[in-house]
Amino acid sequence: MRQEEIWDAETAQRYDTPGTGMFAPEVLDPTVDRLVELAGGGRALEFAIGTGRVAVPLAERGVPVTGIELSAPMIRQLRAKVDEATVPVVAGDMATAAAPGTYTLVYLVFNTISNLLTQAEQVACFRNAARHLVPGGRFVVELWVPELRRLPPGQQAMVYNCEPGYIGLDTYDVLRQHVVSHHFRFGEGRQAELFRSPHRYIWPSELDLMAQLAGFELESRQADWAGADFTAESPSHVSVYRLPLPGSGHAG
């Protein structure tokens, strides 16, 4: 499954769920609040900007936002909300595409770095972020913690969510650190709809090493956008990496 095939016109049209899910105010508002703070009055660049779930409200808060996005249908959905002058978008891969200018903040939300399916591509994503940032600039990554402790011994699949009309199932290839998320949606009849997305999962310590290879230092790691403490039981994290300022030295 290629990313261009997954994020097609049908997926783009169904992606937005205004007011619910990841578009719910209790999810979105803390994200935007924190990114406004981290931008520090400068410009922001979103990798995999999608339909502008975060970028549009961030721009409304006065932060100039540019995006990089691989999927043309997702960009078209974004354009239905704001024009190119409001939120410019470069069509391309977040690991390699270049946006004009420099930024104080590059951010990547909702596990999207895992859409890059090799370690080399994920490292390249960090390096691409570093190329776009001013000295002292920040790269923020929101990512889930791999749930291998919940995977039964000898089994390759795990149900992670089950509710009326929906079952979420992950299948694991632990040798390659790959997981495919299967989203089954169904009604009262026999028919069901399946959406699948492949990912390469990353442990927090591996993510830190990727950052170090690109010249970043870990500034903070919290369990969510609201700033909860990150613990061994946290299902996800928001990690803030920063490029050193000139003359400040470099860890490692």
CA distance 45 to 191: 41
What's the pLDDT tens digit per position in 50-77? Answer: 999 999 999 999 999 999 999 999 999 9
Prediction pTM value: 0.91
| Helices 119-132/204-213 angle, 10° precision | 50
Alpha helices in 140-231, H assignment, sequence order? 204-213
pLDDT at 240: 98
Given a cut of 90, whether residue 89 has pLDDT beyond it is yes
Domain ranges of the chain: 3-146+202-242, 148-198
At residue 50, φ and ψ (nearest 5 deg) are 60, -135
Q: Give the distance, in angstroms, between the CA of residue 59 and the centroid of all CA atoms in the same chain.
A: 18
Q: What sign does the dihedral 48-52-56-58 (CA atoms) show? A: negative
pLDDT above 80: residue 250: no
Q: How confident is the model at residue 101 (pLDDT cuts 50, 70, 90)?
A: very high
Q: What is the pLDDT of residue 111?
A: 94
Instruction: Evaluate if residue 16 carries a pLDDT over 70.
Output: no
Q: Which helix (H) or strand (E) holds 6?
A: helix 3-6
- Outline where DSSP puts E strands in 70-177: 89-91, 103-108, 133-144, 157-163, 166-173
Predicted pLDDT at 15: 65
Q: Say which CATH class 3-146+202-242 falls into.
A: alpha beta
